Amino acid sequence: MRVVITGASGFLGALLAGSLLRARVLAGVPITRLVLADRVPWPGSQGGTDPLVEVVHGDLTDRVDEVFAAPVDVLFHLAAAVSAECEAERGTGAGRLDSPLPVNLPALTVSIAEVLATLRQIAGDAVADLVTIARDPVVEAMVGSWPADFDNRRAAALGLRPDPGFETVVQDYLSGPGVEPPGQSAPI
């Protein structure tokens, strides 16, 4: 079988490549070709290439034809830009994430009173009356440090939209798999 590992010089890819080269089989089927694709030279190639190995060196987007030049039986796709590299790539203007700043996802700011009102509206008085209010200075200090206002312009430019209101957040949850609708829900 022809096995491809993209990101083969990375942390996981190199471990996987080493393991497959030692085993020479995958799921009991002999490996006839192990394609190791990465833009970083494969570390193993310095000590003489194993006859099983075909190194595809370069950016995957340029070398993809080489990877798929012959049928691929198993593909391990591990090529990825991780952590700091992602931010560096964003800094080069790749796509529309054109600066290293994080993207604030669209969010809602709701008060506890609004949350409780929504609970009463959807689940009814019997459920809402179970809630007791008790101030906790530790939680208050923590939650009070969270920003209540967000600049979501970058997210909006990417087409991401916030929920229209807290009620829709609850309704989305209730319509999810395995969630029983509240017995006393009031029409909304």
Ligand X SMILES: NC(=O)c1ccc[n+]([C@@H]2O[C@H](COP(=O)([O-])OP(=O)(O)OC[C@H]3O[C@@H](n4cnc5c(N)ncnc54)[C@H](O)[C@@H]3O)[C@@H](O)[C@H]2O)c1
> Where along the sequence are the contacts to ligand X (CB under 6 A)?
7, 9-13, 38-40, 59-61, 78-82
SS3 76: strand
Question: For residues 10 and 122, which CB has a smaller minimum distance to ligand X in the complex?
Answer: 10
Shortest Å, Cβ 29 to ligand X: 24
Determine the Cα–Cα distance for residues 53 and 4; give it in Å rounded to an integer: 10
Shortest Å, Cβ 172 to ligand X: 28
* Selection from 86, 67, 89, 78 nearest residue 7 by Cα: 78
Beta bridge partners of 6: 37, 77
Beta bridge partners of 56: 37
Shortest Å, Cβ 107 to ligand X: 25
Question: For residues 77 and 153, which CB has a smaller minimum distance to ligand X in the complex?
Answer: 77
Shortest Å, Cβ 45 to ligand X: 13
Question: For residues 42 and 118, which CB has a smaller minimum distance to ligand X in the complex?
Answer: 42
From residue 16, alpha-carbon distances to 6, 165, 186 in Å are: 11, 46, 55
Question: For residues 86 and 103, which CB has a smaller minimum distance to ligand X in the complex?
Answer: 86
* Minimal CB distance residue for ligand X: 10
SS3 153: helix
Determine the Cα–Cα distance for residues 113 and 187; give it in Å rounded to an integer: 20
